[in-house]
Structure 1
Amino acid sequence: MSSPCAPRARRQEPTPECLSSPPPAARRKPTRPPPITPKRFTRFFTPRPSGRQLQDITRAALNRSHAAARPTPRKTVNFARAGPELRTPPSSARKRKHPHAYLSPDTSPAPSSPSKRPRYLTPEPFAIREDAPVLDEPRLCPAPVRRIPSLGPASRTLQRAFGGLPTVGRGFRRDHCAPWQPQTAAFYSSARDLHSLSQGAPPFCTASCNTNSLLAIGDEDGYIHLLDSEADFANAHVSWRAHSNAVMDLQFSSDDSYLAAGSGDQTAQIVDVRTQQTLSVLAKHKSSVKQVRFQPGDDKMVATSSRDGAVHIWDLRCKGGPMSVHSAWGSDAPYASVIRTLASAHADSSPATSTASLAALSRTSLTSKTETINRRNDVSITALSFLPEGRQHLLLTASDASTCVKLWDIRGRYSLRGPAVPISTTRHPESHNRHRHFAINSLTLNGNASRLYALSKDNTVYAYSMSHLILGVAPELSASSSSKQKYCGLDQQGLGPIYGFRHQNFHAGSFYVKASLRKPHNDRPELLAVGSTDGGPVLFPTDETFLKRESPHDDHDTDLPDMPSQKSSRPSLSRSTTTSRCPDTIPIYEHGTSLVRGHDAEVTSVTWAKNGSLVSVSDDLRVRRWQEGSEARELRLGGESEGKRWQCGWAAVEDGYDDDE
């Protein structure tokens, strides 16, 4: 029998004696690190489809330690965990040079065969919850989104100056970083800004051009005077007699080529400004024409209102028939044709409404009630205003019977047998319902047509929301109504005014007192100018960021932002200019500026020239031009010495405004 330790013999289970005696030195071979080159490294990790070669990799890994000198005895690798029948395959002592025989260093474990790995793994079972998990986190309730009010060009410019909407907390919604007084305190009028009428007839109306510095003045004798607001203001550019009676209203077309004039001779005419020739005669009213207006975007369409209570829509491209002949013009005049008539536009047509109106007039005499019933169909239409281009088919009207404003669509057909029915009507102010109704002298829209300013004879300029008027009704903004939004229908009663302007020097004593608005342009803000019986025009800044919200219905009034209180702009909810007026239920602001010493009689009409100057006419036969500059402060502080204030006017400010800081 051969020795158990004999070489080249079949490998058997090692005995303790064999494990304790090292192999002969002659048979030892120096052990070197396995030569893993990039080429062989790639070949080593390249997968092979043969399962036998994978087994040779395992056998080579075990036999590699046969020739190496180990301090510890050799022992058989135990694969007990892999299976009881798995044993290490026998191998000969001779080294086989096989490309797959080179493995990783001794510190790396021998990789298992990919053929022995399970192809599919079964995941551990887990429990499925039937109910959703209950979280203890509080529920998030985001703040409601509030609508941003409509902004004009001046407001958008200021908003961009402060970095946009995220940074307007200081500059826009809270304060203007400046008071309102500088917007109106710089107006003045010198002796060079005065034009006196030579005919001896007081001026009734004025209108400015849209594209140049010319303006027109109409007087009581029917004359029209053209003045230049930038050149010599003392002399008229041209004058001619357009009507045989007083000129009540004037307006230029969009390109200033035509001038519309309404007169007390019951007619209106369209004049060529360059030649002063009459192009069309509008003759169908039965009383004096109060106002005349071109339709925006179409100078061939004209609307006129009269004291007879009717509103006529004229098409200058259509010739009038034999029924249009007027005695003041004869049969050869170029008469125009009426295409739409709003008969008795502001007449009280319903018996129920008439009874309510009589109940509201319980404090008046029986004579006034009888007069009201007799003149139901002869309510004078004192004011007209088209909406801007894009909504030019909508027309606003006001009368001398009440403070309500009516909205009409001139595209509709209206009956001539009875009073016309409007789209919507504003509600009377609560103070008027408790006392009596007042008339409206003029209607003025702001630059973006979001606000309507109505000059009332109760010495107040009321501001209406045009979006509410177009919708007809908005009960969700009322404190007493919980119904949903309703859209406009025929003769729907809308909301009343949202706030008003008053001033201690502003009084509308006659129907000739009018208002005019300067649209914002460049660095000039929007301003509202009104005439006054007190002998001087009054200026009101219309920027609502200057207005402090102190309405009785603060929860529903979202149009006016909060503003820091100022002494002169604090609204008065109960102040009245007359002892018989009922308390007001809307905010009334008194932050206007009066222009003093310019006129000695009632200021009837005002208009804004193209260059931003204000022109006012008065019963003292004077036409004034008011400009902006530092001369206003010099006139206030100069005193009466050396005749510096002779024939001059300036803006009156509160004491201490001109003091040097």
Structure 2
Amino acid sequence: MEKSRSRSVFIDIGFRELNGFRVKKRPFFSDSELICNEIAGVSVEHDGFRTPPLAVSFCKSSRNSQLFAVSDEDGYVSLFNSNKKFASSATHQENTENARFRDWVAHDNAVFDVSWIKGDSFLLTASGDQTIKVWDVEENKCTGVLIGHTGTVKSMCSHPTNSDLLVSGSRDGCFALWDLRCKSSSHKEEFCIISTDMVKGAHLSPLSKRIRRRKAASSSITSVLYLKDEITIATAGAPDSALKFWDTRKLKVPIAQASPQSDPTNTKEKRAHGIVSLSQDSSGTFLTASCKDNSIYLYNMLQLDKGPVQSFSGCRIDSFFVRTMISPDAEYILSGSSDGNAYIWQVNKPQEDPIIVKGHDYEVTAVDWSPTDIGKIATASDDFTVRLWNIENNRCSNANTTASACRVKRRVTALSNTEAKERLEMNKEPESPNKHSSDADKSLPIIRTPETQKNKTSLLSSLPSSSSSEEDKTCERTPETAFNSPSSVLNPPSSVKRRTIRDYFLVTP
């Protein structure tokens, strides 16, 4: 268990290089203009009554990536197939009948968050009835109810590699840890699950002593994340603009804190705006925090002490329902907005005007990226619709650029931890001299894991001896250091910090 935990960060770094992904030299798309086309829009309604959608989430596995779930204010969960053929003249209601293949009442209250787990065979739903339910999608039945919160459950996130573990945040000011294998009692074939740990008052307002307890906004937790190091949890709340990071093995106090302000406790220096939502890329290196000051802040997990490395503006965040999502490959940031549009920024060009996605009539709340279909996004709005969009380069319309588009897709599509691990394991096998003769293979850089570094192939013999010896030391030190410090995502050794930030992630606009 400890071995996989220590290697997770370095596997993610490896598969980025395996895909030939280097931000400075190989951007997400070329500098030509990006176009966002609407694929279709579906209406969120049941028995003829429309209701506002609150959350949208694509399936995580590649075989089901065309499917997405939508939860709404009436407690329903609906499943849609985005690969259906949509007629350009069809209405939203007709598209719903065409694409929706299942819906059911998940809770007797609004469902604020949904999350796919266990290979998309199960779905988690967080509700205003203060519970989280586990749904077997194939059997269409509830298999567990998580009880313990005393307020609306606003956010939840499952463990990066173990879907039985998750964290949730609530308006009661608490975040809780859960283990789905720990069932305490059963009622009507539904197993009740008690939290394994809970932290109360994680984000208290500096004025909380003067505010009545019934005002949940004074301590509400708005978003939680289980970080990719498999140990650290990030939380954000409505009272302040501080991000807090917690070690799951010792939850008494946060192990780190970050804020756009130099001193988040000094309310006289700057008004403390609440954080609305958090998101992270597939490697866990970058984290976004959308704030009520109408800004989206980007944090590098290796440089938390320096505060946000970039900020993005242009959208309006007037409510705690507007969400932001960073793309799996950390190249784009997608956000809803209270002005009825969605906005997309390119991470390495924060000063440029964002792409404005127009089409909705009211506030755009939940958004999501397809994990495998490059450029496909979903936006939910208070106009009772969820719309699908396709982001593409304006050069892609030219038939002569098909091969180029394929190369872009190959290096941009984010791999899961499991797929990346398999790719790295395959790289350890002996290779014949002719294996790298094709043009396609030449375009892929060579991955040097700690094991293969000891047994260098002939392809590495041409490298200068000084650089090889330096990289040998780096590769030999890195796994051992990470093993001794499981929280290495937040406090990495200096050698990892220099190489990772300089060569892979930090982008100067």
Q: With structure 1 as the length reference, what TM-score do the two structures score?
A: 0.51
Assess if the C-alpha contact under 8 Å between 2:156 and 2:225 holds in 1. no
CA distance in 2, matches of 1:392, 1:459: 31
Is the 1:537–1:594 contact (alpha carbons within 8 Å) kept by the matching residues of 2? yes
The 2-side partners of 1:457 and 1:272 are apart by 36
Paired amino acid for 1:229? S
Task: Please point out which of 325, 336, 339 is paired with 1:516.
Answer: 325
Q: Secondary structure at the match of 2:142?
A: strand
The residue correspondences of 1:233-272 to structure 2 (distance < 5 A) are 234=95, 235=98, 236-272=100-136
Cross-structure match for 1:500: 311
User: CA deviation digits over 1:115-136, x for unaligned, max 9?
Assistant: xxxxxxxxxxxxxxxxxxxxxx
Partner of residue 204, structure 1: 54
SS class of match (1:153)? helix
User: Partners of 1:226 and 1:536 in 2: how far apart?
Assistant: 24
Contact (CA 8 Å) 2:288, 2:325: kept in 1 or not? Answer: no
1:430-441, aligned counterparts within 5 Å? 430=262, 433=267, 434-441=269-276
Which letter maps to 1:195?
V
CA contact (8 A) 2:221 2:236 kept: yes
Q: Which residue of 1 aligns with 2:81?
A: 228
Match of 2:367 in 1: 606
Tell me what 1:386 maps to. Answer: 226
- Higher mean C-alpha displacement, 270-279 vs 421-430: 421-430
Superposition deviation, residue 448 in structure 1: 2.4
2:345 aligned with 1:540, yes or no? yes
- Distance in 1, matches of 2:217 and 2:340, equals 35
Pair 1:529–1:155, CA change in 2 (3 A): farther
Structure 2 residue 380 is the aligned partner of structure 1 residue 624: no
Closer/same/farther in 2, CA of residues 332 and 153 from structure 1, 3 Å limit: closer
Deviation string, structure 1 residues 267-323 (Cα, Å, up to 9, x no partner): 1101011122101101111011001221111111121111001111111111235xx
Q: Residue 317 of structure 1: SS of its match in structure 2?
A: coil
Map Cα deviations across residues 426-450 of structure 1 (whole Å, 9 max, x no partner): 1342597523101111111123222
Post-superposition Cα deviations, 1:445-499, rounded to whole Å, max 9, x if no partner, equal 1232222110111111101121234xxxxxxxxxxxxxxxxxxxxxxxx442222
| Change in 2 beyond 3 A, CA 1:158/1:284 | closer
Deviation track 1:528-584 (CA, whole Å, cap 9, x = no partner) reads 111111111111112x3x46xxxxxxxxxxxxxxxxxxxxx3xxxxxxxxxxxxxxx
1:247 positional shift: 0.5
Secondary structure class of the residue paired with 1:237: strand
Amino acid of the residue matched to residue 406 of structure 1?
K
- Give the corresponding residue for 2:154: 290
Distance 1:176 1:467 in 2: 22
- Count residues with an aligned counterpart: 363
Q: For residue 269 of structure 1, give the secondary structure of its aligned residue in structure 2.
A: strand
* Partner-residue secondary structure (3-state), 1:298: coil
> How much does 1:204 deviate?
0.6
CA distance in 2, matches of 1:178, 1:615: 20
- Given the alignment, which residue of 164, 169, 191 partners 1:300? 164
* RMSD, aligned CA: 3.1
Separation in 1, partners of 2:28, 2:145: 53
Q: Which amino acid aligns with 1:616?
A: T
Where do residues 464-613 of structure 1 align in structure 2 (5 Å cutoff)?
A: 464-469=299-304, 494-503=305-314, 506-520=315-329, 526-542=331-347, 544=348, 546=349, 569=351, 590-596=352-358, 598-609=359-370, 610-612=372-374, 613=376
CA distance in 2, matches of 1:314, 1:176: 39
For 1:253 and 1:287, locate their aligned partners in 2 and report how far apart those are by CA, in whole Å: 24
Kept in 2: contact 1:300–1:316 (CA 8 A): yes
Maintained 8 Å contact 1:267/1:282: yes
- Listed one character per residue, the Cα deviations across residues 505-528 of structure 1 (whole Å, up to 9, x for unaligned) are x111111111122223xxxx8321
Equivalent position amino acid for 1:443 in 2: L
Conserved? CA contact 1:259–1:270, under 8 Å = yes
For 1:320-331, list aligned pairs within 5 A: 320=184
The amino acid that maps onto 2:334 is A
| 1:334 shift after superposition | 1.2
- What are the ranges of 5 or more consecutive residues in structure 1 without an aligned counterpart? 1-149, 160-170, 349-353, 359-367, 415-419, 470-493, 548-568, 570-589, 635-661
| Whole-angstrom CA distance in 2 between matches of 1:217 and 1:510 | 20
Partner AA of 1:221 in structure 2: D
1:378 Cα offset (Å): 5.6
Which structure's residues are more often strand, by fraction? 2
- Partner of 2:45, secondary structure, is coil
Percent identity between matched residues is 29
Q: 1:278 to 1:496 in 2, by over 3 A?
A: same
Q: Pick from 285, 293, 298: which aligns with 1:458? A: 293
Deviation at 1:369, TM superposition (A): 8.6
1:312 equivalenced with 2:150 (yes/no): no
Q: Distance in 2 between matches of 1:422 and 1:431?
A: 16
**Structure 1: which amino acid aligns with 2:320?**
F
User: Which amino acid letter does the alignment assign opposite residue 595 of structure 1?
Assistant: V
Q: Which has more helix, going by share of residues?
A: 2
Which of 405, 412, 422 is the matching residue for 2:243?
Answer: 405
How many angstroms apart in 2 are the aligned matches of 1:496 and 1:177?
25
Q: Is the partner of 1:224 in helix, strand or coil? A: strand
Letter in 2 for 1:395: I
Give the structure 2 partner of residue 361 of structure 1. Answer: none
Aligned-pair CA distance for 1:331: 7.4
- 1:317 and 1:626, CA in 2 relative to 1: closer, same or farther beyond 3 A? same
Change (3 A) 1:151 1:464: farther
Aligned counterpart in structure 2 of residue 425 of structure 1, from 240, 257, 263: 257
| 3-state SS of 2:317 partner | coil
Amino acid at match of 1:153: R
